[in-house]
Amino acid sequence: MNVEQLKAMCLSFSGASVKESGHPSNILSFFVGSKKFAYFKTSEPEQWRFSIRVTPERFLELTDQPGIKPARYMHRFYWVTIVNVRAVDERYLTELVGWSYNKALSSLPKRVQAELNS
């Protein structure tokens, strides 16, 4: 899966939106409601590195793999950064992004969740 396909997948989730933050952060973030579930770094030297939230167990599993590291400043919340999305199996990446989306969705108020699921 390439970067453009991954962006399209992130936006395909119910209620998903995108926001680009300029300098100094230079991040393209994906949200459901007000909760972030994924983001890309958009500036060099880390351009198109992709970050998502994972379970504590998966955090340990993933950060042991080459090309996946704890996300800067977000690692304490179990976010990982994937250096090259093409290097990760497409089905596995889809599963990880889906979990991150569902985690963000579940932290929204029940009324908002019902609106997004209808």
Q: What is the pLDDT of residues 54-66, one digit of tens each?
A: 999 999 999 999 9
Instruction: State phi, psi for 41 to the nearest 5 degrees.
Output: -85, 130
Range with the poorest average pLDDT among 3-17, 66-80, 91-105: 66-80
User: And the tokens for 39?
Assistant: 């983001």
CB 19 within 8 A of CB 7: no
Q: pTM higher than 0.75, yes or no?
A: yes
What's residue 101's pLDDT? 97
pLDDT in tens, 33-50: 999 999 999 988 889 999
The token pair at 42 is: 């958009």
